[in-house]
Chain A
Amino acid sequence: MRVLAAMSGGVDSAVAAARAAEAGHDVTGIHLALSRNPASYRSGARGCCTIEDSNDARRAADVIGIPFYVWDLSERFHEDVVEDFMDEYAAGRTPNPCLRCNEKIKFAAVLDRALGLGFDAVATGHYAQLRTGPDGLVEMHRAIDHGKDQSYVLGVLDQEQLRHSMFPLGGSTKADVRREAAERGLLVADKPDSHDICFVADGDNAGWLREKLGDRAPNHGGTIVDESGEVLGEHAGTYGFTIGQRKGLRIGRPAADGKPRFVLDIEPVSGTVTVGPRERLAVRRLRGIRPRWCGTVPERLEGTVQLRAHGEELPARVSVGESVDIELLEPAYGVAPGQAAVVYDGTRVVGSATIEATA
């Protein structure tokens, strides 16, 4: 097969490309330039968007022995991921830009262009497993390394996208991948993992949003109140908050009961952030919109859902109609609208939906 390997400059995508090449595929490496003005060097825990990362990817391609190019996806990325990220925060929701990037960039813009250019598949360094199910459809399963499993951020891929995807690392542990990278002479073998959102420097979401949102922000300040409406403090913009957030509330006085307070609700129009005790965060029902199904659309399902990257699996009953209605068999805490609920049947990813409302 002719395979396009997306290479971020990190260890995972380098080993994924090497394995695809070793398996006998005709592999071409590409690095996605996602920023119009990339920084020269990595800072903090970022790991894919600097010139240094692009050079790391290029050197890995040299070592593997495959051609390498940089594709400029910065415009699409800005429109489809960064703008969406800002809109969602401005609306008081908490988006996951990595899912959005997989859905709109890596397995859409890049995959479409690759197929047009005569490639058969896009390979990435994501930790997830693909296999053909009894019905002939491609199934996506969790990676064997549960600590690294990234099936959550791939839960937006449909059957057509999965049919042209390749995840060579799903059957390995991260430790094995690092060891293999060293054995292959890839200089990125010891490169630290990236954790934060790639376009937000130093993981400072609120600071980034404060700088970038400008007039788009519904407010640049408001009050923090308790459930009775009593004002406890002030804040510099609702976009700095996420449902379930405990740290950084800067409320001077402790609650009457002495227990910690959490963000319960964000009202972007009035600029009001409501806080309260943890038990008020308990959620039993979720309504999801914009569903994405990996294969056949289920009507009803008893399985599990995962509500954030590396979050726990929660047993749930899922029914699909106009919206995706999820009943959690045990409560979840700190569920933020805008995040994705990914539905699993055992280790298999069934699909995902964006959380619109909780109860």
Chain B
Amino acid sequence: MTHPDAGPTAYLDHAATTPMVPAAVEAMRDHLLAVGNASSLHASGRRARRVVEESRETIAQALDCRPGEVVFTSGGTEADNLALKGMFWSRRGEDPRRTRILTTAIEHHAVLDPLHWLVEADDARAELLPVDDRALLDVEALRASVERDPDSVALISVMWANNEVGTLQPIDEVVAIAAEHGIPVHTDAVQAVGHVPVDFAACGVDALTLTGHKLGGPYGVGALVVRREVSVSPLVHGGGQERDIRSGTLDTPAIAGFAAAVELAVKQRAEEAARIAALRDDLVRRVIEVVPDAHLHGAAPEHRLPGNAHLGFPGCEGDSLLMLLDARGIECSTGSACSAGVPQPSHVLLAMGCTDEAARHSLRFTLGHTSTQADVDAVVAAIGPVVERARAARR
């Protein structure tokens, strides 16, 4: 019998979440038993505050931003919500004509859902810009959309790297277009930080989302890096702990673990990315050798996240493939997103021009810091019989 606690032999879902690195575990453990609210004035409070501020400085150094630009949140979703809603309200408050939010059709739901909410509950107008068959933003479409009426654009939000197919977006071009009209840019860099070079000061965006658990830190902590000149209306009121933009008692141990993970991920990024990309390329090449009609979705290797392999297996249900691989201890995800408990074809794949059918026969393998050659070998060994079985189940 397959026990859920038997432990996977090959974990290939690092884009969903990646294991904590020992340095982050140690950093957290050091503070879990220490008392002290970082807002308290006594010695314990000051000690906690010091940990938070040192963590903020560590993250600032790793991302090349100023410490005061790091606003800690409960994770990527909150940071994206804060950026979208907070910057929209602030910009529209300055000029009521600014009601347009421009973004891509392939954003994470943490961006799309607050955007749709702003359209329904407020007076925002959303424009989801198209991507090509590699999931690369159509920059000319963005330019045309901005230039049609630049004064009405509240903000532009474009993800740094797509979470499903791993395509890196042309952030520098987005920033250049926005800069011509003084429009702020937010980027969801949850998948990018620690995996590709991210330099906040150099890239020119106004706000950037990152989260702990995608780079070896704990769950439940992340940050919105916001340029000091940018005004953001708060979503969560009550204490104003983080620059009056975000309230709530600071989670000292989680912030310490988060900072340790960011520091390590950024420091080891170049060599880890090369190692992981080599494993990924090996996986893609050998899977296609075994299943000749399998194909890679998205951009060429140099234009995607190093750990991302998104593959289509014609004639199979992604759900069946996932289940059969899971039974063999290989963990990955499908080309579907669970929406209200029911899998729906991914909006990213549909935006890339995939049919519903193609979206349903996809699997996403994402490699990370614990991935080994043995993981790749396990996939290559299993994929042939698994695809054959999944095809039989469709007949």
Contacts and interface: CB of A to CB of B under 8 A. Distances in A.
List 10 tightest A-B contacts by C-beta distance, closest first. A116-B393, A116-B392, A33-B342, A51-B341, A117-B393, A113-B393, A54-B341, A26-B1, A72-B343, A72-B342
B395 interface: yes
Interface in A133-171: none
* Interface size range on A against B: 20 to 34
A79 to B, nearest CB: 15
B7 interface: no
A71 B342 CA distance: 8
Contacts of A114: 393
B389 A65 contact: no
Nearest to B391: A116
11 contacts: A28-B327, A35-B342, A37-B340, A38-B340, A38-B342, A40-B340, A65-B1, A67-B326, A70-B341, A74-B342, A118-B324
Specify which of A27, A36, A117, A118 lies most central, judged by the most chain B CB atoms within 10 Å of its CB.
Answer: A117
Interface string A35-74: 1111010000000000100100000001001110111101
B35 to A, nearest CB: 35
A86 interface: no
B148 interface: no
Interface string A93-125: 000000000000000000011111110000000
B162 to A, nearest CB: 24
B12 to A, nearest CB: 17
Interface string B317-344: 0011011101100000000001011110
Contacts of B392: 116-117
B334 to A, nearest CB: 11
A115 to B, nearest CB: 8
Interface string B48-63: 0000000000000000
Given A26-B1, A51-B340, A69-B323, 10 more contacts: A28-B327, A51-B341, A66-B1, A66-B2, A67-B326, A67-B327, A71-B319, A72-B342, A116-B389, A116-B395
Nearest to A34: B342
B3 interface: yes
Contact of A21 (B1, B4, B340, B390): B1
B42 interface: no
A40 B342 CA distance: 12
Contacts of A37: 340, 342
Contacts of A28: 2, 323, 327
B338 to A, nearest CB: 8
A201 to B, nearest CB: 16
Contacts of B322: 69
B1 A27 contact: yes
Contacts of A117: 320, 323-324, 389-390, 392-393
A67 B2 CA distance: 7
Contacts of B341: 33, 38, 51, 54, 70
A165 to B, nearest CB: 18
Of A25, A33, A62, A74, most B-chain CB atoms within 10 Å = A33
Contacts of A38: 340-342
Interface string B67-104: 00000000000000000000000000000000000000
Interface string B339-365: 011110000000000000000000000
A54 B342 CA distance: 10
Given A116-B393, A117-B389, A67 B4 contact: yes
A33 B324 CA distance: 19
A69 B2 contact: no
A65 B2 CA distance: 9
A204 to B, nearest CB: 23
Nearest to B324: A117
Contacts of A67: 2, 4, 323, 326-327
Interface in A3-37: 21, 25-28, 33, 35-37
A25 B394 CA distance: 24
B93 to A, nearest CB: 34
Interface string B1-34: 1111000000000000000000000000000000
B393 A70 contact: no
A51 B4 CA distance: 22
A51 B324 CA distance: 24
Contacts of B4: 62, 65-67
B326 A70 contact: no
A26 B1 CA distance: 5
Nearest to B3: A65
Contacts of B389: 116-118
Given A37-B340, A38-B340, A69 B393 contact: no
A285 B150 CA distance: 78
Contacts of A71: 319
B219 to A, nearest CB: 20
A64 to B, nearest CB: 10
